[in-house]
Amino acid sequence: MSSVWRVAEVVDGMPENATARTIRLRVAGLMGHLAGQHIDVRLTADDGYSAIRSYSVSSASPDEHLDITVDELPDGEVSPYLVRDLAVGDQLEIRGPVGGWFVWRPDRVNAVQLIGGGSGVVPLMSMIRAHQASDNESAFRLLYSLKSPETSLYVEELHRLDQESAKLTVDYIYTRSTPEGWPAGPARLTSDTLLGRILPVEASPDVFVCGQTVFVETVADWLVTAGYSPESIKTERFGGTGGIR
Amino acid sequence: MGIISSGFRGRRSANPGLPPGQHETQDFPVLTAGPAPLIPIDEWEFFIAAENGQRLSWSWTEFMSLPQEEITKDIHCVTSWSKLETTWRGVSLDTLFENVDTTKDFATAHSFGGYTTNVPLWDLLGGKAWVAWEFDGEPLERAHGGPARLLIPHLYFWKSAKWIHGLELTEDDVPGFWESNGYHLHGNPWREERYS
């Protein structure tokens, strides 16, 4: 089923920041997806040329809707069209949702540590939303590393959940500039900063790391060195040359 | 032809070396399910396990004394990037299989760190696959599978298992890691065997 191209209709487009937008798709016959999965999107030009890219699903709806959040790459072939030109009512082709590894299932009892770099937060947001919508009471903690407040995704929702939900804690690390009045200045992410803001080894969390290659490799190495079990760490690379695994 | 996106132009590379649905990249993206294992050279080995307890293995020194080949091949990742004319150095699987006596048709590749992937023997032999330890003139970086990885360039690159430890020969085609997680059992990019 997941290898078949299907038609999806754009039913909404919501800007997240200056370069990213969430696109809501309706896919007839779709019955939900796993939190953390991705879809392939195929765009075809009027002369038949087509291009395919993978995008993580950011929503957690059990029906025929799903959201993808697309960050525009300055030099991108597909993302500028999706962020700037695609309109409500347009159709495109998708394949998936696919992926059975970098996913969170509501029957997991372990605590969960999510670590997102930049737009690597997208599949993690799907997990947060699936967790919020479920009666799973395990602790979720998100460490969100980003360059500046202006590049942040899901700002209001994450702030609200952090304040109101007993099931989720959110920590932010700003590497270039911080929000006004932020207690600390911007700083490079270090092993010490990271380890001070995540669930401890003793909590045996399932860990999901998503971001650019260097971010993911570096963070995963720090975690293993600090004693987190390699088997508990799932990684996914995001962005750059055509997206995620 | 399916749905047309009016206004979408795209970037036509029209490179005949690109399988359907692939685009060319100059980078070398890293795709891994978990952290990269650290394997000291003096603890490294490569093994082939066949029927009746037959197990051949090579230490790093023994492996390096085998005939080495220069390989220039295009590689194709299932996430849709392709990298053309990549250069490698390594040992052909034909060399490693010289003294293996088997009637099995499939192999499970085992990596340090626990990753597995399944490959028919037919795709491993006949000058089609290597255990590679050098990329672009440099020792293979750990993030890319160093000290050594499988190199099966005619299949999607998840088949080219990083941190390769050995091959276990099997009667049946037993799904490996990604193959159990939604990806195709075989992975031929020219037939777009991406997902199961």
Which CATH number do you get for residue A87? 2.40.30.10
The pLDDT assigned to A2 comes to 63
Instruction: Give the model confidence (pLDDT) of B68-104 as tens digits.
Output: 999 999 999 988 889 999 999 999 999 999 999 999 9
Q: In this structure, are A85 and A177 located in the same domain?
A: no
The pLDDT assigned to B47 comes to 98
For residue B80, list chain A residues with Cβ-Cβ distance below 8 A: 40, 52-54, 242-243
Secondary structure element (H or E) that encloses residue B137, with its range: none
- Strand ranges inside A16-100, DSSP E: 20-27, 38-44, 50-56, 65-71, 91-98
Residues of chain B with pLDDT under 50: none
For residue B2, list chain A residues with Cβ-Cβ distance below 8 A: 5, 7, 42, 44, 93
The pLDDT assigned to B30 comes to 67
Query: Is A155 in contact with A121 (CB distance < 8 Å)?
Result: no
Q: In this structure, are A94 and A123 located in the same domain?
A: no
CATH code: domain of residue A213: 3.40.50.80
**Chain A residue nearest residue B14, CA to CA:** A49
Q: In this structure, are A122 and A213 located in the same domain?
A: yes
Closest in B6, B30, B182 to A237, CB measured: B30
Q: How far apart are CA B79 and CA B87, in angstroms?
A: 21
**Chain B residue nearest residue A206, CA to CA:** B34
Q: Flag whether pLDDT at A131 surpasses 60.
A: yes
Is residue A216 included in any domain, yes or no?
A: yes
For the residues A49-74, what does the mean pLDDT come to? 92
Burial status of residue B187 (CB atoms within 10 A of its CB: 0-12, 13-18, 19 or more): buried
Q: Flag whether pLDDT at A3 surpasses 80.
A: no
Is residue B35 included in any domain, yes or no?
A: no
- Chain-chain contact of A45 with B180 (C-beta, under 8 angstroms): no
- Chain-chain contact of B195 with A78 (C-beta, under 8 angstroms): no
Q: Considering A98, A124, A147, which residue would you say is the last residue of a domain? A: A98
**Chain A residue nearest residue B27, CA to CA:** A241
**Chain B residue nearest residue A100, CA to CA:** B181
Burial status of residue B65 (CB atoms within 10 A of its CB: 0-12, 13-18, 19 or more): exposed
- Total domains present in chain B: 1
- Chain-chain contact of B2 with A5 (C-beta, under 8 angstroms): yes
For residue B32, list chain A residues with Cβ-Cβ distance below 8 A: 216, 235, 237
Secondary structure element (H or E) that encloses residue A15, with its range: strand A5-15
The pLDDT assigned to B1 comes to 52
Give the domain range for residue B140: 44-191
Instruction: Give the model confidence (pLDDT) of A9-36 as tens digits.
Output: 999 999 999 999 999 999 999 989 999 9
- Total domains present in chain A: 2
Token pair recorded at residue A138 = 């395990």
The pLDDT assigned to A243 comes to 31
Q: How far apart are CA A127 and CA A244, in angstroms?
A: 16
Is residue B106 included in any domain, yes or no?
A: yes
Q: How far apart are CA A237 and CA A230, in angstroms?
A: 17
Residue A245 confidence class, pLDDT cut points 50, 70, 90: very low
Decide: helix, strand or coil at residue A24.
strand
Q: Considering A63, A98, A133, which residue would you say is the last residue of a domain? A: A98
Q: In this structure, are A149 and A209 located in the same domain?
A: yes
- Chain-chain contact of A242 with B81 (C-beta, under 8 angstroms): yes
Q: Compute the nearest-CA separation of B24 from chain A (Å).
A: 9
Q: How many residues does chain A have?
A: 245
For residue B7, list chain A residues with Cβ-Cβ distance below 8 A: 81, 85
Its pTM stands at 0.88
Q: How far apart are CA B116 and CA A95, in angstroms?
A: 25
Q: Compute the nearest-CA separation of B95 from chain A (Å).
A: 32
Is residue A128 included in any domain, yes or no?
A: yes
A:B CB pairs within 8 Å: 126
**Chain B residue nearest residue A232, CA to CA:** B34
Sign of CA dihedral B70, B73, B77, B81: positive
Q: Quick one: which of B47, B151, B150, B145 has its CA closest to B99?
A: B47
Q: Considering A39, A72, A98, which residue would you say is the last residue of a domain? A: A98
Token pair recorded at residue B19 = 């399988």
CATH code: domain of residue B59: 3.90.420.10
Q: In this structure, are A135 and A166 located in the same domain?
A: yes
Q: How far apart are CA A215 and CA A210, in angstroms?
A: 8
Closest in A3, A5, A223 to B35, CB measured: A223
Is residue B26 included in any domain, yes or no?
A: no
Closest in A78, A99, A213 to B29, CB measured: A213
- Chain-chain contact of B9 with A45 (C-beta, under 8 angstroms): yes
Q: Quick one: which of A97, A89, A94 has its CA closest to A9?
A: A89
Q: Are strands A20-27 and B81-92 parallel, antiparallel or unpaired?
A: unpaired
Q: Estimate to the nearest angstrom the gap between the alpha carbon of B59 and the chain centroid.
A: 20
If one compares A4 and B97, the residue with the highest pLDDT of the two is B97
Is residue A104 included in any domain, yes or no?
A: no
Q: How far apart are CA A62 and CA A85, in angstroms?
A: 28
Is residue B1 included in any domain, yes or no?
A: no
Q: In this structure, are A67 and A116 located in the same domain?
A: no
Give the domain range for residue A210: 112-238
* DSSP β-bridge partners for residue B87: B72
Closest in B10, B21, B30 to A217, CB measured: B30
Is residue B180 included in any domain, yes or no?
A: yes
Is residue B15 included in any domain, yes or no?
A: no
**Chain B residue nearest residue A55, CA to CA:** B79
Is residue B48 included in any domain, yes or no?
A: yes
Q: Flag whether pLDDT at A55 surpasses 60.
A: yes
The pLDDT assigned to B12 comes to 73
Is residue B119 included in any domain, yes or no?
A: yes
Q: Quick one: which of A100, A114, A50, A117 has its CA closest to A77?
A: A50
For residue A229, list chain B residues with Cβ-Cβ distance below 8 A: none
Task: For residue A143, report the phi and psi dihedrals to the nearest 5 degrees.
Answer: -110, 120
The pLDDT assigned to B11 comes to 81
